[in-house]
Structure 1
Amino acid sequence: MPRRPRFQLLVVVLVAALVSACSRQGLYEAAIQLERSSSGLEATTTRVGDLDIAYLRNAEANPGDTIVMVHGFGANKDNWTRLADQLTDDFNVYAIDLPGHGDSSKPLDLGYTLDEQTEHLAGILTALGIDRFHMMGNSMGGAITALFAARYPERIKTAVLFDPAGIFEHESELVDLVREGDNPLIPSKPGDLKRLMDFALEEEPFVPWPILGVLEDKAIANQDINRVIFAAIRDSGFEPAFRQQITRIQDPVLVVWGKQDRIIDYRNGALFVEAIPDARLELLDGIGHAPMLEAPERSAQLFRIFLATSD
């Protein structure tokens, strides 16, 4: 169960910060810290080769299993705090900022195909000493999770794919926009982040204006690396090889998809289940591209049921 009413606490923090004449950046940092701490998480970093890697982990470890959470394109570790809020009492959560994202290093020349990102993640988890775990991924992170499960079956207990990338047989609204030269996933000017949220999310969580403004500034500042990463994924021609690779997954897989997803069509979920030997599909009405953010309680419930009914 959640530890405390998040909305009421956030309002209190924002009012207190405003009264103390806190800057917009200060308001953002206070709200993000509240979001993390109320979910039982703390932020830290580690050095992996030449990269600084930021991540969230349980503030207090427990005897439960470990869950590794992998965000999507242009997103970051804080996309998982609301789902983590439902899980950190019983599990040890690690939400990673992949290279090129969040507070991790962002070299333009690192290599950002799905295959390369899977290997980057493997190296990060090895450096953190995380050997056997459940893995969850959203969108791009869902594709990375699937590839990780296919390549490292000895390290994975179960995998949960939230609206995963990797199979695009059924085209979405995003495809038409990108073909026209308009990519709503890469904010480049004021107003673009709100447009992205409206496009990606059907059930938008409450985000106060100071936080939204700072998030937009960060997204606009990251547009160059985001274009590099998007191009690496788009141009790699990975789909046939991707489908072949995920047939090798040996562990149970849960695919969760929002039926109002405008970024990747939910009908591709059935194709994931066809390709993966031990997979099941849950479709969520009224939810868009990020079920773990839009419906964290329902997502956690599905995960717990999945664990209880998996071999």
Structure 2
Amino acid sequence: MIVRVLGSGRPLVALHGFGVDHRIMLPLADAVKDLPWRLVLLDLPWAEAAAATATAKSAVDVADEVLADIDDHLGDEPFAVIGNSFGGMIARHVAHERRDHVLGVATLAGVLHPAHTDRVVPERSVLHTEPSVLEAAGDAREAFEEVSVIQDAAAYTAFERYVLPGLRGADPAVMDRVAADYALDAVPEERHPGPFTAPALHLFGRQDDVVGYEDGLALRDHYPRGSFVVLDGAGHNVHLEQPGITAALVRDWLARIDR
């Protein structure tokens, strides 16, 4: 469900992660606002704006709905796609299923293995904490602490603005349905084994204990035009904890597409 379009130019489709909504992708708007790209933001079925009419019962259903939305909205217009977490898995699917129309693909802490037990992840760690920030977080403290590696005022402000509204608005019934069948029917790179030759970016947090980074690095030979970056001082919300570097990497990715 396309909910917002920001800017003008070629389309950059943005797909958020599980249990949140499109707002977690809004920091990308600042990264591309002076570039000839328009940010096309989708809400996946559990998001508050989409849940009332959601019928998806699996990751495959979500992927099919995203492809249908993109086809309806963009037609034959070439586009780039970027996804975060679960949205990263869907973005790779979109990029391979619509390879003839996709200018490039990027993932931010993207899911590679749907089952947590199959993932290679580091042990949970927190690198920096400001106790006063945690004390002021109130009922959002647990959710912030659970995922954040950098627990300072800037990180909490980003979490409160971009993550918390989606967490609070997510429909648990829809999430339960999709979580019960969280895998695609085939790994995109295995269904389409030929190298993906358009510019790519795969960004990971070194301290990401949700999806890790080792599994993603294993895809490097499939993306000969891919930048694979592991950022220290970042967990699963890598683009919120390291916004400046993320913005620079996204801009570099889009510049490679432009060239």
For this structure pair, what is the TM-score category when the shorter chain's length is used for normalisation? Answer: 0.7 to 0.9
Amino acid at match of 1:283: V
Distance 1:268 1:87, change over 3 A: same
Distance 1:286 1:136, change over 3 A: same
Aligned to 1:94: 40
Amino acid at match of 2:144: M
Normalised by the length of structure 2, the TM-score is 0.77
Amino acid at match of 2:106: V
Aligned to 2:24: 79
Name which of 139, 143, 163 aligns with 2:89: 143
In structure 2, the residue corresponding to 1:128 is in which secondary structure?
helix
Percent identity over the alignment is 19
Q: Would you say how many aligned residue pairs link Structure 1 and Structure 2?
A: 235
Name which of 58, 61, 75 aligns with 1:112: 58
Aligned to 2:157: 206
Confirm whether residue 124 of structure 1 aligns to residue 124 of structure 2.
Answer: no
Normalised by the length of structure 1, the TM-score is 0.65
Distance 1:290 1:125, change over 3 A: same
Q: 1 CA distance for matches of 2:164 and 2:184? A: 35
Following superposition, the deviation at residue 110 of structure 1 comes to 2.4
Q: 2 CA distance for matches of 1:97 and 1:295? A: 24
Q: Is the 8 A contact 1:247 1:277 kept in 2?
A: no
Q: 2 CA distance for matches of 1:160 and 1:210? A: 23
Following superposition, the deviation at residue 302 of structure 1 comes to 0.6
Q: How does 1:1-311 map to 2 (within 5 A)?
A: 53-58=1-6, 61-62=7-8, 64-90=9-35, 91-106=37-52, 109-113=55-59, 115-129=60-74, 131-167=77-113, 169-172=118-121, 191=139, 194-203=141-150, 204-206=155-157, 217-219=168-170, 222-233=171-182, 236=183, 241-245=187-191, 247-248=193-194, 249-309=196-256
In structure 2, the residue corresponding to 1:99 is in which secondary structure?
coil
Following superposition, the deviation at residue 92 of structure 1 comes to 0.8
Q: 1 CA distance for matches of 2:70 and 2:242? A: 27
Q: Is the 8 A contact 1:166 1:242 kept in 2?
A: no
Unaligned runs of 5+ in 1: 1-52, 176-189
Aligned to 1:178: none
Following superposition, the deviation at residue 264 of structure 1 comes to 0.6
Q: Is the 8 A contact 1:108 1:228 kept in 2?
A: no
In structure 2, the residue corresponding to 1:264 is in which secondary structure?
coil
Distance 1:217 1:78, change over 3 A: closer
Q: 2 CA distance for matches of 1:208 and 1:251? A: 32
Larger Rg belongs to: 1
Q: Is the 8 A contact 1:205 1:294 kept in 2?
A: no
Q: 2 CA distance for matches of 1:303 and 1:297? A: 10
Aligned to 1:6: none
Q: 1 CA distance for matches of 2:207 and 2:97? A: 31
Following superposition, the deviation at residue 277 of structure 1 comes to 4.4
Following superposition, the deviation at residue 139 of structure 1 comes to 0.7
Distance 1:307 1:82, change over 3 A: closer
Q: Deviations over 1:90-111 (max 9, x none)?
A: 2211111022224113556423
Superposition RMSD on alpha carbons, in Å?
Answer: 3.1
Following superposition, the deviation at residue 246 of structure 1 comes to 5.5
Unaligned runs of 5+ in 2: 125-137
Q: 1 CA distance for matches of 2:95 and 2:141? A: 34
